[in-house]
Amino acid sequence: MKQLKFWIGLVVSVVCIWFALQGIQFDKVGDSLGSLNWLYLLLYIPPYFIVLGLKVTRWHLLFYPDSRVHYPRLFSSLMISYLWNTILPARLGEVVRAYVVSRSEKIGVARVLSTILLEKILDIITMMLFLLILLPFLSVEDWIKQSALILGGGVLLGFLVCMLMAARRREAEKVIGWFLNKLPAKISSKLDKFVVEILDSLKVLLNFKISLNLWFQSILMWCFNITLYLLIAWAINLNMTFEQGVLVMITTNLGMAVPSSPGYVGSFELVIKLTLLPFFPGKESLILTFALLQHVVSFLPVIILGAFYSWREGLSLGKVEQVKPSEYSEEDAISSSKSGL
């Protein structure tokens, strides 16, 4: 099965690379890279680390009211997840992130995973809000606007259902319990604990003060994220607007969910090309330059940091593959923090 996942990802990447390279003039790519405006690359550094800092502070809030977790541990585990997300399929680096925090902070993996899930919900909702607000100002086909409206509406509806479940906890547990009872006992018992943790995490959003803080940090973080895309575009003289920056940011984040080879090679570049080509017809080479540069500067620093923290934690591919979060409890986290991986 592991070999199958590898070959599927490799085939997807090869196909994406082939399509991404269509119409590319490599001499123009070299010229664009050779004439970089380094001032924009220097300006890239502060917002890059501001985004990482906001990710950590927001994640810390999601553990409320538990204050045992420490900021340095959250930062190191976040860097570790970036590394392993480029290696493992289906973004399983998030499971590694949960495991690292769990064993050091003596918190159950299910609890940590529930905060990561809520983090993703906040990100998706924030991106959809950006998209829905800016959609009228984008010159795209009507079917794309309609698809975006349907997607955005579905996401917002799903979020409202989650909020209703958190507010009506007892009723939500009864409904979910009814569905879980239809599953085999071994599976339902594991899912039941995770569902409880998710409902507990959702309670954070019912706290007005904390929820306001979470949404503010989410919006601010994604504004800085858009700025990063714009700075790279401007560094190669690609006149990207704020609205286009929002669109390419959303599509690349969604595109990274597609199975591919390590590092999202090929899929990342193709998604950017398909997103920007309607706005910059005939500029395939400049768009590929932007995609390559964005890929390197956004992933390389966190991968290097992730490799360092993985080495410090003693994590290897063999050890990571042994992690079974569904069988990992808070008691396991406590004993593991004493004995090591």
Secondary structure, 3-state, 273-291: HHHHCCCCCCCHHHHHHHH
Cis peptide before 46 (omega within 30 of 0): no
CA angle 164, 169, 172 (to 5 degrees): 75
**256-298 pLDDT, tens digit each:** 766 666 678 788 888 999 999 989 998 999 999 999 999 999 9
CA angle 134, 286, 33 (to 5 degrees): 120
Confidence class for position 328, pLDDT limits 50, 70, 90? very low
What is the chain's mean pLDDT, rounded? 83
**CA 256 – CA 90 distance, rounded (Å):** 9
**CA 188 – CA 324 distance, rounded (Å):** 16
Question: 265 and 13 in contact (C-beta within 8 Å)?
Answer: yes
Question: 258 and 267 in contact (C-beta within 8 Å)?
Answer: yes
- pTM of structure: 0.84
**64-101 pLDDT, tens digit each:** 877 678 899 999 999 999 998 887 766 778 888 998 99
Collapsed DSSP state (helix, strand, coil) of residue 252 = helix
What token pair was written down for 38? 């380094």
- Residues near 271 by beta carbon (within 8 Å), at least 6 away in sequence: 251, 252, 254, 255
Question: Which alpha helices (H) appear in 256-329, and where do they start and end?
Answer: 267-276, 284-313, 317-321
Question: 84 and 93 in contact (C-beta within 8 Å)?
Answer: yes
Residue 256 is given by DSSP the state T
**114-173 pLDDT, tens digit each:** 899 889 889 989 988 888 888 887 777 777 778 778 877 888 888 888 888 888 888 888
- DSSP assignment of 123-186 equals HHHHHHHHHHHHGGGS---HHHHHHHHHHHHHHHHHHHHHHHHHHTHHHHHHHHHHHHTTS-HH
Give, in order, the Cα–Cα distances in Å from 310 to each of 81, 299, 304, 339: 9, 16, 10, 17
What residue has token string 């929820």? 211
Query: Beta-carbon neighbour count of residue 332 at 10 Å?
Result: 16
Confidence class for position 5, pLDDT limits 50, 70, 90? low
The pLDDT of 306-332, averaged and rounded, is 67
Residues in the chain, overall count: 341
Confidence class for position 188, pLDDT limits 50, 70, 90? confident
Percent of the chain topping pLDDT 90: 34
Q: Is the backbone of residue 270 left (phi > 0), alpha (psi -120 to 50) or beta? A: alpha
